[in-house]
Structure 1
Amino acid sequence: MSPFPRLTARAEKGMRAALYLSIGLGTALVSMVVLSTLMVSVALIGAAGAGLVVLPVNLALVRRWADQERRRTGGFLGRAIPARYRPLPSGFGERLRATLLDPVTLRELAWLGWHIVMGVLLGLFGMVALVGVPSTLLQTALWWMAPDGEPATLALRSVTDWPTALLYGAVQFVVLAALLLWGVAPLARLHATVAAALLGRSRAAQLAERVETLSHTRAGALDAHAAELRRIERDLHDGTQARLVALAMRLGLARSRMGEDPEQAARLLAEAQSGAEEAMTELRQVIRTIYPPVLSDRGLVGAVEALAARSVVPATVSVDDLGAVPASVEATAYHLVAEALTNVAKHAEASRAEISLSRIGGWLRIAVTDDGRGGVAEDGGTGVGGMRRRVAALDGEFTVVSPVGGPTRVEALLPCGS
């Protein structure tokens, strides 16, 4: 393989890292101003409490500035760096106290100190790497334009003729090119990683958020389970149980009429047989809503292909190797696809749909895409909220991308082990 594509990719990576550090030099200088105003407001607290009025404003400024750096650093690292602030209570004093004691505020102040020191130092490296190579070429070509008595300098050496200009220019070019290609990327990565650690949530905060999320999803799962039990009980009570009661009554009447009116008894027995068949049909329908039999007969792939074949909107299915999938995950995936195809038929005004099933590590990914009008809203009676609750019950992830005008993509990630 030719080394040029690799050098080009490394140069692009180095340019991106040098640009990140160079912009960081400017943001570090702004951070000095932000920290200075904060320190002034703290110092003014002793002056008749004047700082108490200015301090909340400056703390809010620190938060906004830190949010800006979260976006910039997250863009460089390729991942979001969300902040989780505690809800502020009402009342000036309580709000100020809550802000000062918020661990996120303390971490942002620590980041300000880090960024002021390292942002300036590493920013200078970034600027040298960013402009060093083109400026070296320019200096080498124009060394002779230096004023008399003030010769041009290349590689920290004075240049007075073309041989020394080409020699020292080549040395400086190699050093700066090496800095751009191999030096600034690790420095930028280190700086961004530390900034992300300070600006992001602590491990304790992440654990607390995880516990809170699991509490909500488990509560939702219990509510959904209770609602499902009520639905099954209602279906059995209003349908199957009523038919079984009527069946028992017909059999009792048939038994009492057997000796007196055999023809009526035979007619009652025929009605009882028909009622028993209808009760069995309804019972099978109730069972199907709990765990579709097609999953047992044909597996998840076959069940989804059957849904696609029955879909009103033409649908295609693409499947990767899924491996072993737990029964609860199969049932959830089946119902998600069924609900999504129903939504496509009822609301999307689409001409086609695509269903994708794939395995990503320990996750099963289900995606349903259509070319309809888009604009799906969870509160628009589309069943998206129910789909989200189904996924949350399994601690999965659910997203809907549906811009106005389409296309719409419904995607779920369900944990199914490694």
Structure 2
Amino acid sequence: MKQTWRWFGPDDPVTLDHVKQAGATSIVTALHHLNDGRAWPDDEVLKRKALIEGNGLTWSVVESIIVHEDVKTRIGRYRELIDNYKASIRAVAKAGITTVCYNFMAITDWTRTDLDHRMPHGGTALRFDIVEFCAYDVFILKRPNAEADHPADRIEQAALRLESLSESDLARLERNLIEWVPAREFVYDRRSLNRMLDVYRELSDTGFRDNLFAFLGEIIPVAEEAGVKMAIHPDDPPFSLFGLPRVVRNAADIRALRQTVPSPSNGITLCTGSYGANPENDLVAMAKEFAPDIHFAHLRNVTKEADGSFHEAEHLEGDTDMVQVTLALMAEERRRREAGRPDWEIPMRPDHGHAIIDDIGKPVNPGYSCIGRLKGLAELRGIMRTIEALDLA
């Protein structure tokens, strides 16, 4: 597989030299300074590409061209914003970048309650604590009817947990849940979040899914014409937060996506961490079933807990059999290569990583520390080399 690395641009504390030292050959990035729904200018795309190539790397995946909330809800400026999205697809295609990873998550991007969960090895990981989330949703945000979205025993646990949290704990929880997400051009406070929740109040999973399909019905023909593969990222976590709709959670959602807008350009990002947080998902089976539709892979692992909480594990630990997932992806690569496809190689990146060794205490984008991802990439590379050497795929 093509070994890539997510890079947040010139302000990323992980430099392009670090990326090369980690052994990656390609970059996954976006024009984060312009990612507010406007059309990406050709010259800005080419400028970013030249910077990457000038450092001996290639730009192989765009992650992400933001899908504006007006597009997801089909209100306000959504028509103009969809046209801008089409223009951005054409701009990256002109620059030779033919894979675009994106998501269709309502309001939130990936969400965790703890960005520095202490691990037994002394480093830290990302964690989602369902009880702490409930405490925030019900007792701090006080979202209308939030109690209906949580079982009674969880609300009781949340009330007890709330009593044990200090003011700094509460500030940390709120910051992690609504104020901070990497590569987003804005943040929420309680008032603005509640205003956005009001916008979504009457939008069911069915209505939100219809909006996704309507969006794809417009952009996929443009992607086909431009030779771009669109790869939707799953919801993270793959269950509802704040009562919001979720429509990319499991195998059934992928099947509906593919059947409604059938096209080689309408594919998925197999994020083993996001899908892996849903107990009903069998990642090995999904990698095999949807292999032809996988245009990009995020490889990371999670350890699930009985109550619905989870934390991000070492790349080869956790609940997902990463060896078998990698084997399935490399078998698909072989099928594509034997069919004569020039784009047979599936780009992958080591998604997230623990903060370990010299990265502890350094300024980093949570989840995107250098050494933790380097370690994960090295482990995944070992799997790939073994599969190749033994001709297993």
What TM-score, normalized by structure 1, do the two folds share?
0.20
- The higher radius of gyration belongs to 1
Structure with greater helix percent: 1
- Which structure is richer in relative contact order (CA contacts within 8 A, separation 6 or more)? 2
TM-score by length of 2: 0.21
